[in-house]
Structure 1
Amino acid sequence: MAHAHKHSHSHNKRQLWYEWLVLFVALPLLAWWWSPMRMPLLIGVALYCLWMARRKGIRRRRRFIPPTFKFWLAIRMVLVSLGIFAFSYWYDPTRFMDLPRQDMAMWLLFCLLYPLLSALPQEFIFRRYYFQRYRPLFRRVNTLLVSSVLTFGLVHLVYENWLAVALSLGGGTLFAFTYAHSGRLSWVTTEHALYGLAVFSSGLGSYFYTA
């Protein structure tokens, strides 16, 4: 009986590795290489994760949060957002705040839709789903965090520029840290949305466009 249980556990873990490799390595690389299929592949990954989350009962897990965490998170969000604007002005001053200056209506629409249609799905997949679904694959929490950051950066290869990948790795590190210490999808989505809006408002949004 013990041998059968061990064999079943090993089989399930192997299947989990296959799923992880396909969803978070193979398909993002395929989307980067095969441009006509980028959006269908990425949408397919998102739908699969949502379906599996419902099937496996992946939900919010309550945990103790130090009282000062929210305060320092708010401070960090303000400082990082200001840093994004400063970097944009230094790196590409010709595009600084080009979206709100050139098309205010489009910028306002983006501000309304980005948190719901982009930040929330990404954080659900790369934080809540990823942390709970693939925890058995990584013995240490830090290894789980690093793998989440790297796969988050990998999927941004579709934008075909180093800046998008670098910013995604930096942002992914902060998002993984926030979720690992809070377990709150709402908090990490708010952080992601704020940085994303700073990127697109400051003039760096053109580096996150793909055909």
Structure 2
Amino acid sequence: MNGLIYKGVEFFVLFILLPISFAVQYPIWIKMLLGTMGFVYVAYVLLKVEKLKFKVNPTLRWRSFWKAVFVKLAVIVVLTSCFVWFTNKEMLFQVLFENALLWLFFVFVYSVFSVYPQELVYRTFYFQRYKVLFKNESLFVFLNAVVFALGHLFFKNNLVIVLTFLGGLLFAITFKKTKSTLLVSIEHAIYGSWLFTVGMGSMLGFPV
């Protein structure tokens, strides 16, 4: 399972073929089954093949992490607030003000049940398994953003693809620097929750 050819086929199936198939019309239960099988496979490989130990690294640079996140968040806040204001002003912070319970529920469920599994697959697994396939680190990071966007192809929404590509770049760079699934998951949850908060939920297919 650690051969280069095996990893190449694995990459193609998990990160290209499977996501593209989810954008094709066929029974949802089959898609859910394939997605579940894919995640179980990823977890198995991480635990049994790669022998990864999931524990918090005591040497993590929390202060520098938070500084970087808040700088990037400030830019995201300004850009997305302006975007919503000029494209659909009525949606600006609508969910937060009109349905705070839905907002709280979404932030919790999204952060725990969506963000962390995504980061396990697209950062932890991807970086652990496929770094040996690429000599160019910039290409490796860029491709991570591409496959992350491809993983959201089933939304059939151009805005989602653009945002997930940009987010994928940010998350890949963070993971490359920190080697921490926890930190990149926190960053991912903050940015994603903000998009829902600012009023971009309906644009991105979130429940509103």
TM bracket (short chain)? 0.7 to 0.9
Aligned to 1:16: 7
| Deviation by residue 1:103-153 (Cα, 9 ceiling, x = unmatched) | 221111112222111111111111111101111111122122111110000
- Alignment-mate amino acid for residue 121 of structure 1: P
159-168 vs 87-96, which moves further: 87-96
Separation in 1, partners of 2:15, 2:141: 14
Aligned to 1:133: 129
- Alignment-mate amino acid for residue 16 of structure 1: K
Aligned to 2:149: 153
Paired-residue identity, %: 25
Q: Are the structure 2 counterparts of residues 101 and 66 from structure 1 closer, same or farther at C-alpha, using a change threshold of 3 Å?
A: closer
| 1:44 aligns with one of 33, 37, 41 | 37
How far off its partner does 1:191 sit? 0.9
Separation in 2, partners of 1:68, 1:186: 15
Aligned to 2:22: 31
Query: What TM-score comes out, normalization by structure 2 length?
Result: 0.85
- Alignment-mate amino acid for residue 58 of structure 1: L
Aligned to 2:52: 58
Secondary structure of the 1:134 match is helix
Aligned to 1:83: 79
Larger radius of gyration: 1
- Alignment-mate amino acid for residue 97 of structure 1: F
72-81 vs 197-206, which moves further: 72-81
- Alignment-mate amino acid for residue 48 of structure 1: Y
Task: State the superposition RMSD in angstroms.
Answer: 2.7
Secondary structure of the 1:33 match is coil
Q: Are the structure 2 counterparts of residues 110 and 131 from structure 1 closer, same or farther at C-alpha, using a change threshold of 3 Å?
A: same
Secondary structure of the 1:75 match is helix
- Structure 1: stretches of 5+ with no match in the other structure: 1-7
Aligned length: 202
1:189 has 2:185 as partner: yes
Q: Are the structure 2 counterparts of residues 16 and 64 from structure 1 closer, same or farther at C-alpha, using a change threshold of 3 Å?
A: same
Secondary structure of the 2:163 match is helix
- Alignment-mate amino acid for residue 23 of structure 2: W
Q: Are the structure 2 counterparts of residues 69 and 106 from structure 1 closer, same or farther at C-alpha, using a change threshold of 3 Å?
A: closer
Separation in 2, partners of 1:70, 1:99: 26
Secondary structure of the 2:135 match is coil
How far off its partner does 1:68 sit? 4.5
Aligned to 2:119: 123
Q: Is the 8 A contact 1:77 1:191 kept in 2?
A: no
Q: Are the structure 2 counterparts of residues 64 and 209 from structure 1 closer, same or farther at C-alpha, using a change threshold of 3 Å?
A: closer
Query: What TM-score comes out, normalization by structure 1 length?
Result: 0.84
